[in-house]
Chains A and B, each alone.
Chain A
């Protein structure tokens, strides 16, 4: 400690505190997988700093929001700061997702860390709230339409749905009141909530210590008749005894955090932040949410009928509740993933479901209005047929060459799979009820469309 340090420490008395914090023993097998939470925390700080910078030029009003974002993008460093804010937001969701998986599979939410899980789960919802409120702010097409859809999903709650929707939008319509509300929630309400729960989450981690990696056999044998607290204390004390000082573990956190921040900045520098056309409430547009909501968006394909809003609301809130209450639903003593096969396989199933839904949405439906591009060497009739295909909104349900929806079968190899007569019949008199009959096309348009589809080998 130098002279200045000594002078400061005499007045602040912080050195001993920091030393005991860094030197305290933690379980020995704490490694790279434990860095996901701290990397998330560092990116949250990045969001705070870049977000504050963005407020210096941003105006939360429909007649200026888009223009002020354009202005930010033209200002030196402005585009970079906005891009860092954008990419860091996405990476936070990814890192939290991995952090949740690590904690789940290692059973780290077990006694006495249940509340750290609950606090963390709330933090996850807060982060999704940030994403949802944040991407309205640029007031571009994606912003506007994603908010239309998102607020309508919130509005599907039984009885109070309409009032919840109006609470979010500031009324029935989506406009100036919605934008200021989302802005206020994004820059004040959610950050305050976030800090509260980050503090709660970190307090839990420091107070109870970092959970050791799960072992199939405890390193000390449990004594008969021992209380849960005593058995836990002995086990954890033994883990710490065989462990290492915290500063050794913390070094890995620093390395990962640096890599993450550098990667975000690099991607931001190279890719910039996306900005679509100015929001147009009167245009025809195919809304697609940010990638981390695509799984939920894709899920909405699969239900219909009068009770659809109820099913969606029920599924979403059931999922949220189960996630929040994991430590109280999975109450066994074993922590190793192989010793709790039910929990492990259920979680694995959820992961596969999320990845699958995201993949289907990602590869099936691009953002913007789906327009299938022409292939090389197409003749005039086939090009006119493609024109018909695009103008009739076929791509809403059918994918060709990676463009289009997933409601109906993909048609990239339509000419290979079906002959001309059955393609024609399927267009005019579909066998499947979910496809509308395109029986009002002009004969010319129908011929062109069939010629186009037949050419897709």
Chain B
């Protein structure tokens, strides 16, 4: 039972001024050094993670803190359509019959990350009165499914969850929380021109 090893472990030779590898029982001095080193290493690890992690997280989350969508309590479905700022022709005003929406493929200058150029963008153009033309984004304001126009009921019908809108873009049934998204629209010299997505009224 009282082997030399056990005896040595239980007592510290006072002549050994600095035992390096063993904690003397009851002493907290070495334990403190040990925990200090461990904590220092943890701090170094955290520092390394921060040095590399901050730029990485920053880069990955640029769209989050640069978000253009307004902060709202009730958030909105965002049309996935490629964005364009310029005005583009949707055809001659005389080609549109009053109250009859038409699906028009606009030739728009769009920027999509590093990809740019002219691209088709579909919109519904509606001549509400003789003079007044409005342009709707084709996506349902519920979750963005593409709306089909049912001429028999003069209704935009969503194929996903049964949402529907009238030709003024107002919700007539189903889950959509908001009217259809509109584009800025003007008539110049008998030509219908479509601009960017209109800020919500």
**A residues bordering B, Cβ < 8 Å?**
61-63, 145, 147-149, 151-153, 155-167, 169-177, 180, 281-287, 297, 300-301, 303-310, 313, 369-370, 388, 392-394, 396-397, 405, 407-408, 433-441, 445-446
Contacts and interface: CB of A to CB of B under 8 A. Distances in A.
Contacts of A305: 175, 177
Contacts of B138: 282, 284
A153 B177 CA distance: 13
B76 interface: yes
20 contacts: A63-B115, A148-B143, A152-B142, A155-B76, A161-B76, A165-B69, A171-B113, A177-B112, A177-B113, A281-B81, A308-B177, A310-B73, A388-B152, A393-B159, A394-B150, A434-B162, A436-B157, A437-B153, A441-B152, A446-B152
B83 A173 contact: yes
Interface centre among B67, B114, B138 (most CB of A within 10 A): B67
Q: Which 10 A-B pairs have the closest CB atoms?
A: A162-B69, A161-B75, A407-B162, A174-B80, A282-B122, A286-B159, A175-B112, A441-B152, A163-B67, A176-B113
Given A148-B145, A176-B114, A440 B162 contact: no
Contacts of B65: 163
A282 B157 contact: no
Contacts of B105: 282
B78 A162 contact: yes
Interface string B68-79: 111111111111
B153 A438 contact: yes
A173 B175 contact: no
Given A172-B69, A308-B142, A438-B150, A369 B64 contact: no
A145 B161 contact: no
Contacts, number: 214
B58 interface: no
B83 A285 contact: no
Given A163-B64, A397-B162, A284 B112 contact: no
B71 A160 contact: yes
Contact of B113 (A175, A283, A394, A437): A175
Given A158-B75, A162-B69, A436-B153, A170 B145 contact: no
Contacts of B72: 158-159, 161-162
A394 B162 CA distance: 10
Given A166-B68, A282-B122, A305-B177, 6 more contacts: A161-B76, A166-B66, A171-B68, A286-B160, A301-B175, A308-B175
Contact of B161 (A175, A177, A301, A408): A301
A303 B177 CA distance: 10
Contacts of B63: 163, 166-167, 169-171, 177
B164 interface: yes
Interface in B158-173: 158-162, 164, 172-173
Contacts of B61: 167
B127 interface: no
B162 A156 contact: no
B74 A307 contact: yes
B155 interface: yes
A155 B148 contact: no
Contacts of B67: 162-163, 166-167
Contacts of B73: 158-159, 310
A394 to B, nearest CB: 8
A165 B69 CA distance: 9
Nearest to B83: A173
A220 B57 CA distance: 53
A304 B124 CA distance: 24
B43 interface: no
Contacts of A313: 75
B174 to A, nearest CB: 6
B195 interface: no
B150 A392 contact: yes
B24 interface: no
A441 B150 CA distance: 10
